[in-house]
Structure 1
Amino acid sequence: MLVRDFIEDSLYNPHYGYFPKQATIFTSSETIDFASLRNGTHFQQEVAKRYAAYGLDTDGPGRQIWHTPTELFKPWYARAIAQCLVSEYLLKYFPYEDFVLYEIGAGNGTLALDMLDYIKEEYPEVYDQTRYNIVEISGNLAQLQKEKLCSVHPCVNVTHKSIFQWDTPEPSPCFFIAMEVIDNFAHDMIRYDLRTLEPYQGLVTIDASGDFSTYYTRITDPLINSYLRLRRRLNHPPPIPRILKASSTFRTFYTNLPFAPNLSAPEFIPTRLLTLLYTLRKQFPRHRLLLSDFSSLPDTIPGVNAPVVQTRYQNTTVACESLLVKQGYFDIFFPTDFGHLRDMYEHILSQPLPPDVSGSDSPRVSPLSVTASPLSIGGNFFSSYHPKNRRTPLDGVASSSGLPIGERKSSVFKHAEFMETYADLEKTRLRNGENPILDLYQNVKFLF
């Protein structure tokens, strides 16, 4: 099978996959009292104590516990996310449009619960217009989210489905939330023939005794081909030394050296992430994406953009050096190049919308739309200038200023930058002035 199919099987198979059967999301019924903690060391000790409450592993692969900033800094982290989205909603759509949110991979439902509690408390008029939709691939987590959320917040709707199979168009303006999700999206593995620079797709095989191996074939998979075409269009170079790309003579000399490899190092390409971007473009034409995840990772396996493959054994996290591990017992997660992600995302959004998305050639006209769009007589009727940080405007859809200038393009923020903008930092400050919500997660970024 393709490498991405092997990863998806290992992580999401409903019978033995890592997330359905092994993973436990760290959570605690009590919020950490940050103001009572002396310093960062005291904070780490408090987290370790809460981990210990899950009990010790006695033998074999242990309980696969992992935490997220949502759980670690609840409710303050979720409130920062809510403040960001509510601010955008009030600026652009209130009161003419509902506050429509979609979240994928909602875990225990903590982010949704804390966000909705905050909106109900601080912005009751917005809460009255809120529709919160969760798309969850795990049946167990979907049931947990329904039990935790639906009775408290009737505006919540939980759908047990993979986002990659989503086929219901959302014509309204909406906000799409993906927090700590895309790191577990499956990647494909490719290598380049160092003589011809032709890419080859990696496949995983398993023999009768259960041993894994890999081999490479010419690329036939449409999704891999689609990603490579998009990368060429965006001028994102493949990870091959410049001198090898520039000179066929040097490539021949190099590959004839004793023990020289005939293929480049493995490169892991985010093909499932590309599928998500296509889904957003087709099914959520008027969405605004808020995404956060790792921009770099330690202890990765060999390769370019390679993942961390790890498990817990006898209360210790163990990192592996190979992707070919027993399905279900190992977490496999990848870093994201946010610069490349932003380029891909904006390019895909700039493409023409498929005509069958909402039964017409254009998204639903909202009450904020102009009655006679200047686009009907040419977008440059009044001026030939179009800001570079704005997308091409949709015909009939005005911005919050009333002018068809297009939505603002997404930007990339460091974790601390985002929190400094939207979080109530006093709530997470320690007694010595340190603030773990700023100091931790330095390898995490936001796209918004």
Structure 2
Amino acid sequence: MSRLGSLLRPCSRRQLAKQFQTTGRTFSSTHAKPARKHSGRDKINYNPDVFFDEQPNPDHVGYARVTANDLESRTEPPTRVKMLVRDFIEDSLYNPHYGYFPQQATIFTASDTAIDFAAQRDANQFQDEVGRRYASYGGDGDGPGRQIWHTPTELFKPYYGQAIARCLVSEYLLKYFPYEDLVIYEIGAGNGTLALDILDYLRDEYPEAYERTHYNIVEISGRLAQLQEEKLLSRHPCVKVTHKSIFHWDQREPSPCFFLAMEVIDNFAHDMIRYDYRTLEPHQALMTIDGNGDFGIYYTRVTDPLISSFLSLRRRLGHPPPLPSLLKSPAMRSLYNNLPFSPNLSTPEYIPTRLLSLLRTLRTHFPRHRLLLSDFSSLPDTIPGVNAPVVQTRYRNTTVPCTTLFVQQGYFDIFFPTNFERLRDMYEHTLSQPVASASPTAEDTRLSPLATSASALSAGAGFFSSYHPSNRRSPLDGVSSASGLPVGERKSSVFTHAEFLETYADLPKTRLRSGENPMLDFYKNVKFLF
């Protein structure tokens, strides 16, 4: 069902193991048994449910360490390995052979006919109409059901996509037309519906911009990439679909471009960390899979470069870790740690390390991009932890939420909320960092009325005034504004779902007879960054 719908039934690990016993794997998050030899010194607790002071099973610690990239060629989930949590999530969701998106996920698009909003009496009748279209997929049989979920693009087509198109074309006409082409990149384009609605709108309403449009889709799923080509290429030859993970992107786009990430980053892999309450030192989680396919977890000091980079960036931005303020005092920390049965590690925190990878990719390979991003800012029924995900599947026509992350790879959707205010800070800081540039290519040195061969703009940025607006980025060398003065792009802002659509959408088209507007009233836990 919908990711935003009610999560209808609690997930019992025992029940899930029984329900899916035909898969031959357990769904419990069984942890490694502790070694019985006790040491006099304290040990880091590796168990998320019960606190021990003993070492994890040395056999599990000795397993070969793998990454999601190492597992891409595997046709079955691995055993006798260990990995970071982000690699487990990425493998579970995106492995080409057993991952959730390549093999299980189905995006709701029951009919090519858009919903007639004006014919719906009120929100209740509208939801009944959505339910009727869901029913056209048929009921589930035994075992895992069809993993169906909808997005605002599909639910409010074509009007949602037209709102995105208005946003893009207004910025393009204001800043770049007619000197530059309209270049758009979209990652995770799903069924291709958003791209289709955007391009149809540009063709019909802004033919002069459409003639200069290049629409590039970067899609990790081979199945969806083929579907996008079949849906789009015959109608819009300006589309190019690249079957590749955005994290493997290695081409530089020197032109101004718009970069779309709509309902994508919620499925970006996160890492899990916990803080030692004695020293406040973070520890990274490593999960293990034994020979029977059962899961374990233990913690080590942070050694992963990406986790270290994220934590360093968080400190520079002044984003505090989720620790009780009382524990900042050494005296209070000592008192707390001497209490009987006090845990020695903090609540698990899920940090968006793959999101940081995306921001770095944008800075390096898309230096003149404008990011339009939308996703969940909060979620109900998450598993325990800070910034924790929802883990759910569909079984016999019912959405089943789980209480643990460690579930059978490929059968469960794992999606996270995003703190958009912190994302904005991370994004702007990342863009402000210098990029090590190689020798300029022919593309980088192409002639453009908006490019200049004059000396670096930064050298004369303070000639007229030492004041630089706080809502503007530093100007890019070699790129001047229309006035010729070094004025940087404005910084990104965060909008609620309703605020963005009230600016760009044709709201009368989605208004019901009662006056309600589901395109505004739904998805209240979604925000935009633009």
- Structure 1 unaligned runs (5+)? none
Shift of 1:402: 3.8
CA separation of 1:137/1:358 partners in 2, compared to 1, >3 Å: closer, same or farther?
farther
Shift of 1:378: 2.2
Paired residue type of 1:213: G
Q: Equivalent residue for 1:328?
A: 410
1:213 corresponds, among 280, 284, 296, to 296
1:172 corresponds, among 247, 251, 255, to 255
Shift of 1:368: 1.7
Q: Equivalent residue for 1:82?
A: 165
8 Å CA contact 1:415–1:445 kept in 2: the answer is: yes
Question: For the residues of structure 2 that align with 1:51 and 1:358, how far apart are their CA atoms?
Answer: 52
Question: For the residues of structure 1 that align with 2:342 and 2:132, how far apart are their CA atoms?
Answer: 50
8 Å CA contact 2:271–2:350 kept in 1: the answer is: yes
Question: For the residues of structure 1 that align with 2:304 and 2:438, how far apart are their CA atoms?
Answer: 25
Q: Equivalent residue for 1:3?
A: 85
Aligned pair count?
Answer: 447
Q: Equivalent residue for 1:250?
A: 332
2:114 corresponds, among 31, 41, 56, to 31
Deviation string for 1:377-424 (max 9, x for gaps)? Answer: 421011111110000001231224443110000000000000000000
Shift of 1:430: 0.2
8 Å CA contact 2:104–2:147 kept in 1: the answer is: yes
Q: Equivalent residue for 1:187?
A: 270
CA separation of 1:217/1:376 partners in 2, compared to 1, >3 Å: closer, same or farther?
closer
Q: Equivalent residue for 2:180?
A: 97
Paired residue type of 2:305: P
1:41-440, aligned counterparts within 5 Å?
Answer: 41-245=124-328, 247-356=329-438, 358-359=440-441, 366-370=448-452, 372=454, 375=457, 377-440=459-522
3-state SS in 1 of match to 2:417: coil
3-state SS in 2 of match to 1:332: strand
Identity %: 76
Moved more, 114-123 or 369-378: 369-378
Question: For the residues of structure 1 that align with 2:337 and 2:135, how far apart are their CA atoms?
Answer: 53
Shift of 1:210: 1.7
8 Å CA contact 2:492–2:529 kept in 1: the answer is: yes
Paired residue type of 2:289: I
Question: For the residues of structure 2 that align with 1:238 and 1:171, how far apart are their CA atoms?
Answer: 37
Question: For the residues of structure 2 that align with 1:390 and 1:131, how far apart are their CA atoms?
Answer: 27
3-state SS in 2 of match to 1:57: coil
3-state SS in 2 of match to 1:49: helix
8 Å CA contact 1:100–1:131 kept in 2: the answer is: yes
8 Å CA contact 1:40–1:436 kept in 2: the answer is: yes
8 Å CA contact 2:458–2:475 kept in 1: the answer is: no
Question: For the residues of structure 2 that align with 1:299 and 1:152, how far apart are their CA atoms?
Answer: 41
3-state SS in 1 of match to 2:260: strand
Shift of 1:374: 7.5
Deviation string for 1:269-296 (max 9, x for gaps)? Answer: 0000000000000000000000000000
Deviation string for 1:177-225 (max 9, x for gaps)? Answer: 0000000000000000000001000011111222111110111111000
Shift of 1:359: 4.3
Question: For the residues of structure 2 that align with 1:364 and 1:230, how far apart are their CA atoms?
Answer: 35
8 Å CA contact 1:2–1:202 kept in 2: the answer is: yes
CA separation of 1:119/1:192 partners in 2, compared to 1, >3 Å: closer, same or farther?
same
Question: For the residues of structure 1 that align with 2:445 and 2:229, how far apart are their CA atoms?
Answer: 30
Paired residue type of 1:414: T
8 Å CA contact 1:370–1:402 kept in 2: the answer is: no
Deviation string for 1:212-252 (max 9, x for gaps)? Answer: 1111011111100010111011011100011102x112112
3-state SS in 2 of match to 1:143: helix
Shift of 1:370: 4.7
8 Å CA contact 1:172–1:364 kept in 2: the answer is: no
Deviation string for 1:337-382 (max 9, x for gaps)? Answer: 000100000001011122128549x886631235646826421011
Provide TM-score, normalisation by structure 1.
0.97
Structural RMSD (CA): 1.5
Question: For the residues of structure 2 that align with 1:365 and 1:284, how far apart are their CA atoms?
Answer: 18
Question: For the residues of structure 2 that align with 1:305 and 1:199, how far apart are their CA atoms?
Answer: 16
Question: For the residues of structure 2 that align with 1:5 and 1:47, how far apart are their CA atoms?
Answer: 35
Question: For the residues of structure 2 that align with 1:396 and 1:313, how far apart are their CA atoms?
Answer: 56
3-state SS in 2 of match to 1:407: coil
Question: For the residues of structure 2 that align with 1:239 and 1:358, how far apart are their CA atoms?
Answer: 44
Question: For the residues of structure 1 that align with 2:193 and 2:440, how far apart are their CA atoms?
Answer: 32
Q: Considering only CA atoms, is the larger Rg found in Structure 1 or Structure 2? A: 2
